[in-house]
């Protein structure tokens, strides 16, 4: 098995643990037949006791799996799922970018693309015109709950009832808001994730009709006093992206 660069020293315990975990995953990925703890130790330079703890944690999260007969470890299905989501995210970003730029040019505000990650929403792309003096802090990598903000509720409104049921059960008023968002085809927000910020977003659907992303505008409230006024424009462009992904609805 090819050696893997040892985890960096001189860093905090949290960063060191993460670095070690990534080194283990890299080793598992380099071996098609799985690896033993002894082989992992030789490749990473990590003590076996440390490796057992890391592998136990990775196993609980589905990122590593142990064959009880051979006692060899391999990558788990959670990484396959993660890779599939990353691939879908890249494809959506590529297909959504022209629509995002078009919307940005029309409204002269920041336009963001977000995807669902279980119970959260993560911003994966953002375009904005030059010269914006005041910006909303909705940047790439920002994460927030599905039930909060226009981008989140634009996705949540179109999820299967079974998927959104637990959230709605915890927040009964949310059901009415989601029904309204679905009826008009877009969601709006004001003063939720950031004081003085407003947004409007619409879902992007895949070929099977599932919401896989949301596209929308974020801006300071004084520049976006009535987010719903731009809802039809946002909905039209998100529908164009959905069609590029094979959605015929």
Over residues 28-63, the pLDDT tens digits come to: 888 778 899 999 999 899 999 999 999 999 999 999
**Could you tell me the maximum CA-CA distance found in the chain, to the nearest angstrom?**
65
pLDDT of 3 reads 53
Superfamily classification of domain 80-244: GAF domain (3.30.450.40)
The fold of 13-75 is: Arc Repressor Mutant, subunit A (1.10.10)
At residue 64 the predicted structure's pLDDT band, cuts being 50, 70 and 90, is very high
Residue 223's contacts (CB-CB under 8 Å, 6 or more residues apart) are: 109, 134
Q: Could you tell me which of 233, 194, 246 has the C-alpha nearest to residue 100? A: 233
CB 148, CB 193: distance < 8 Å: yes
Residue-wise pLDDT for 145-201, tens only, equals 999 999 999 999 999 888 887 888 787 788 899 999 999 999 999 999 999 999 999
Distance between CA 244 and CA 247 in Å, rounded? Answer: 7
CB 23, CB 6: distance < 8 Å: yes
Residue-wise pLDDT for 131-140, tens only, equals 988 999 999 9
Distance between CA 73 and CA 28 in Å, rounded? Answer: 7
Q: What single string gives the DSSP state of each residue in 132-188? A: -SS--S--TT-EEETTSHHHHHHHHTTS-HHHHHHHHHH-THHHHHHHHHHHHT-EE
Range(s) for CATH 3.30.450.40 in the chain? 80-244
Looking at residue 35, what DSSP letter applies?
Answer: B
CB 92, CB 204: distance < 8 Å: yes
Dihedral sign from CA coordinates of 10, 13, 19, 20: positive
Considering the entire predicted model, what is its pTM?
0.71
Reported residue count of the chain is 249
């Amino acid at each position: 098995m090819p050696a893997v660069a040892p985890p960096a020293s001189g860093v905090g315990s949290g960063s060191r643990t993460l670095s070690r975990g990534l080194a283990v995953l890299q080793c598992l990925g380099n071996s098609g037949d799985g690896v033993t703890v002894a082989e992992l130790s030789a490749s990473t330079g990590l003590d076996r006791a440390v490796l057992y703890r890391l592998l136990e944690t990775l196993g609980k999260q589905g990122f590593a799996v142990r064959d009880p007969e051979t006692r060899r470890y391999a990558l788990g299905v959670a990484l396959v799922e993660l890779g599939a989501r990353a691939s879908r995210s890249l494809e959506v970003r590529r297909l959504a970018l022209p629509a995002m730029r078009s919307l940005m040019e029309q409204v002269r505000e920041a336009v963001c693309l977000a995807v669902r990650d279980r119970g959260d929403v993560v911003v994966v792309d953002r375009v904005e015109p030059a010269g914006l003096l005041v910006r909303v802090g909705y940047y790439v990598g920002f994460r927030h709950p599905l039930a909060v903000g226009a981008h989140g509720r634009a996705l949540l409104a179109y999820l299967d009832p079974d998927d959104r049921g637990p959230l709605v059960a915890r927040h009964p008023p949310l059901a009415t808001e989601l029904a309204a968002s679905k009826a008009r085809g877009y969601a709006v927000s004001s003063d939720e994730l950031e004081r003085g910020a407003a947004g409007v977003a619409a879902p992007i659907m895949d070929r099977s009709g599932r919401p896989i992303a949301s596209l929308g505008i974020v801006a300071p409230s004084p520049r976006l006093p009535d987010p719903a006024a731009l809802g039809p424009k946002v909905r039209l462009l998100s529908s164009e992206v959905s069609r590029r992904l094979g959605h015929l609805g």
